[in-house]
Amino acid sequence: MTSEQLPKGRIYVAGHRGMVGAAVVRHLQQLGINDDDLITRDRSELNLIRQADVESFFDAERPDVVVFAAAKVGGIHANNTYPAEFIYDNLMMAANAIHAAYRFGTARFLFLGSTCIYPRMAPQPMPEDCLLTGPLESTNEAYALAKISGLKLCEHYRTQYGVKFHSAMPTNLYGPGDNYHPENSHVMPAMIRRFHEAVRDGLDEVVVWGTGTPRREFLHVDDLARGLIHLVNLDQPPNLVNVGTGTDISIRELAELIAETTGFDGKISQDTSKPDGTPVKRTNIDLIKSTGWQPRIDLETGVRKTYEDFLRASQSGALRAV
């Protein structure tokens, strides 16, 4: 089976209101999933931090497959400002869902993390086996520790109980449904909004955080969705696998690409008083490529499509900024 085939059984997509979960739902719908086989709950219907609520849900619904895209996420500013919330919320969501899935017979559980789980000075490109070989990046340590705990829960439940619980670590993501909050968003949506507003307001300069020298890898969320369904369909998936493009771009080069895409022709300056975060971050995707998956959407095309989605969402009042 491949990412182009629908997994068997009832599928619970946790976090379907977020960028990743929404992309997974779109892909499943494109593959022809029946409404009765697609299970979703928003936060008002199911609080994943409450163990009793999670266990009641799994007992009632008995999903065959779980794609766990629920998380409390944010950029450098949010991670620095709310570390207690990041570690507690993400730990509790992971532990509650993984244990309830085991208790109530879920056959397949795919846990989503992030490549921030790898050491700050990890070898580049980052292989899966560099996990826990060095200190984490301090700016997102709380989130990373929670995600490491989740993937280790899956690994140890698989070892002890024989369940197919496994994890995928996406690189930096972008695409439809991203969060465009001016302070709490990631670098790509923050730049898209900043350059768009500069054009709208007739500004002649945009200031970008940091030196512009850090290099980052970006994966379109629709490519990730295909990758996740591909992994769910594998008979023997890896315990942990990177999902990325294997290529990177400097923050300065990204700013220039977004400026071009949005039509900004003014000056781009760097605020070097702001933190850079990890110097270089690129995944080794040899493992997932060996299973038959690879990305399809190049960065220039992806940024253009993402900006078009940003414009539609802005005009319709549906832009996420939380």
Residues contributing to the annotated binding site for substrate:
194, 209, 216, 276
Catalytic machinery residues: 143
Task: Give me the sheet containing 108-112, strands edge to edge.
Answer: 38-39, 11-14, 65-68, 108-112, 164-170, 240-243
Tokens of 102: 């085991």
Tokens of 119: 């050491």
3-state secondary structure of 176: coil
Q: Which residues are annotated as a binding site?
A: 15-21, 112-115, 147, 170-173, 186, 194, 209, 216, 276
Query: 48 CB contacts (<8 Å, ≥6 apart)?
Result: 14, 54, 70, 92, 93, 96, 97
Give the number of other Cβ atoms within 10 Å of residue 72's Cβ: 18
Query: 25 CB contacts (<8 Å, ≥6 apart)?
Result: 13, 16, 38, 40
